[in-house]
Amino acid sequence: MTTWPDDDVILYDGICVFCSRWVQFVIARDAAKRFRFTPIQSPYGTRLAQAFGIDPKEPDTNAVVHGGRAHLKSDAALTVLSNLPGWGWTRALFAVPKPLRNAVYSVVARNRYRIFGKYDSCFVPDAELRRRVLE
């Protein structure tokens, strides 16, 4: 895992419909407003992606910085979910072997544009969310 100075930052593909809905899902459940967000297409998101070895032009994973460490693929999703109120039960899914979790994650990631679609430009947050977006 790589370290990063900002904490509780979710890196996502801003043109991916599925990824943008993931961000909206987190926002709706993150009552403490713990998580902040950055699209991979932003200057900050691009730097973050490159630091984690993610190709910003062909991202194959989202990521979350939590506890000062970068979590990728299924670890990222489970880390975020398990830190949302009422979703702590998802910690049990860490018991599933990581290669299996990541294989499922990768199938969805590879096919996300085909299945869920893609925006022409980066998802634009409303004013409330904009305060939680790092660009």
Q: What is the pLDDT of residues 81-127, one digit of tens each?
A: 999 999 999 999 999 999 999 999 999 999 998 988 888 766 666 66
In contact, 111 and 54? CB cutoff 8 Å: no
Q: pTM for the full model?
A: 0.86
118: DSSP letter: B
Q: How far apart are CA 36 and CA 14, in angstroms?
A: 14
pLDDT at 133 exceeding the cut of 80: no
Q: What is the pLDDT of residues 30-69, one digit of tens each?
A: 999 999 999 999 999 999 999 989 998 888 888 999 988 8
What's residue 118's pLDDT?
84
